[in-house]
Structure 1
C-alpha cells in the first residue's frame, strides 16, 4: 500500500491516486483478473463492499503494531468507520477501472479478516527518487497482516501463497516489493526468498526488492 495521505478530511491510500510512472505494462483490458488464491490456512480474495466493517475492526485491532511496522502513517488512532468506508469505496472503484487491485486475507479456520494485499502500478515518485528504475516493473505489491496473524506465523503462509499465485495466475514478469526499514518480518521473508534487493531510499526509510516471474 505505499504512503497514506490525508485528503478531503479522510485518510486514503496514495496508490489510489494518479501519477504512476509509465512502467512496464500494468494491465490490459483483455486480461482476466485472478479471483482468489487459497491454502490450507488462508484465502485471498477480492475486497467487497460488505467487508468494510470487518476490515476496519481487523486493522484497528492491531493499530499500534501496523502503524509502527508499515511506515505508511496508517492506521491512525483516529481512523474511523466513515474513513474506512471511503477507502473501501475507492478500492472498489479501482477494481472497476482496473487501475489497482485490493484483496483481503482471510484466516480460513476462524473466517476472519487478518490482512490485505495491494497490486498497483509503480508510483511515479519511485523513478524520480533515483533509487530504482520504476519502468522495469509491471506492478508494485504490498501487504499487511494483523499482529495475531504474524504471531501465528501466517506471514510465512501468505508469502508462499502470494509468490506461487503470482507465478501461476498473474500476467506480469517483474514486480516490486517495497518495505519499510523497520518491518523486520517482511524483510526477513524477502531476504530468504529469491527476491533481489535493488535499492534503499533513506529519505522515506524504505527498501526495494525485485521479484522475477518470467516463465520458461
Structure 2
C-alpha cells in the first residue's frame, strides 16, 4: 500500500490511546527535548534493534537533528502518510518511547508497526506491555487487515 492511500480518506485517525501506565499521542515538535532525552538514553539499543535505520541515532546525534526528525514525523501524520506516536507517562513528564505506523513496501501487507521504549523502561518490562497493547489497538481501531511488526516478529 502506498503512502498516498495509507488509510482511507474517511478514516478518523485515533488521536490517542491511554492506559493505566502510558499515553500514546501524535509525536510533535513540542516533544523535542523529552524525546531527545529518551533517544539518547536508548541510542545503543536503538541502533542494534533497528538496523534498517542505518545507525540512527548516530554518534553525536544533536537536538537539532531530532527536531528535523520530529518535523518530518509531524508532517507525515498531518498528511496521513505515516503515523508516529510518542509514548508518554500519564503526567506527560517523560517520553517513554515511540510507535511508528508506516505503509509497507510489500503489496500484501497494509502496515508496518515499529516501536521502542526508553532504556530504563525497557528493563522494567514496559516493552512487552506496549507491544501487547498496540497489537490489540491496531486490530481494533485501525483499518488494516495485514500488519507486520518487523522488530517484534512474534506479533506478526
TM norm structure 1: 0.65
Aligned-residue Cα RMSD (Å) equals: 1.9
Cα distance in 2 for residues equivalent to 1:110 and 1:32 = 24
Q: Say yes or no: does 1:94 pair with 2:66.
A: no
Matches within 5 A, 1:5-44: 22=2, 26-44=6-24
- Structure 2 SS opposite 1:136: coil
TM-aligned CA deviation for residue 110 of structure 1: 7.5
Partner residue in 1 for 2:124 = 152
Higher relative contact order (CA 8 A, sep 6+): 2
Q: Which aligned segments of 4 or more residues in structure 1 are displaced greater than 4 angstroms?
A: none
Give structure 1 stretches of 5+ with no counterpart: 1-20, 124-133, 180-185, 196-209, 211-216
8 Å contact from structure 2 (residues 6, 80) kept in 1: no
TM norm structure 2: 0.88
Aligned length: 153
Instruction: Report the structure number with the largest CA radius of gyration.
Output: 1
Give structure 2 stretches of 5+ with no counterpart: none
- Structure 1 SS opposite 2:149: strand
TM-aligned CA deviation for residue 58 of structure 1: 0.9
Partner residue in 2 for 1:207 = none
Q: Larger % of strand: which?
A: 1
